[in-house]
Amino acid sequence: MKTPGILFLCVANSARSQMAEGLARAQFGDSVRVQSAGSCAAGVNALAVKALAELGIDISGQTSKTVDTIDPETVDTVVTLCVEEVCPVFLANARHIHWPLRDPTAGGGTEEEKLARFREVRDEIRRRLPELLPETKSARRPS
């Protein structure tokens, strides 16, 4: 059997989807192939790196990718993370789940206020991750 795959999608692949990728890798290890992408690659946001570093998770080596670089055969579950923006579309033969999480990069404020938004999104993603594993296992396709 092939390893089940999860793809996290948002617009810039810089914050929400990057944090989701790092959190999922830390939680699921090698039992799941975890990827993230967006409609446009905007680089990994430094506050996303900082928010995960607070949990001992290093995503500084992750890269921002566009959805057209993802092999559909490696994806069983697609999780979109957009709220007001238009999330990219991924037409793989995959289960689609939507987690409407506000973009933590939107809005001003002090560095601490901005980091607080990243922490909120990080913690919500972490809370929801256990929902994915049973669905991902049942979504396995024969190899």
User: So which residues are the catalytic ones?
Assistant: 10, 82, 87
Contacts of 35 (CB under 8 A, 6+ apart): 5, 6, 7, 8, 21, 65, 70, 74, 75
Cα–Cα distance between 83 and 3 in angstroms, integer?
29
Alpha carbon distance 89, 53 (integer Å): 30
Residue 95 · residue 5 · CB < 8 Å: no
- 34 strand-pairing partners: 6
CA separation, residue 135 to residues 13, 60, 77, 94 (Å) = 23, 28, 8, 11
Which strands sit side by side in the sheet containing 95-98, from one edge to the other? 33-38, 5-10, 77-80, 95-98
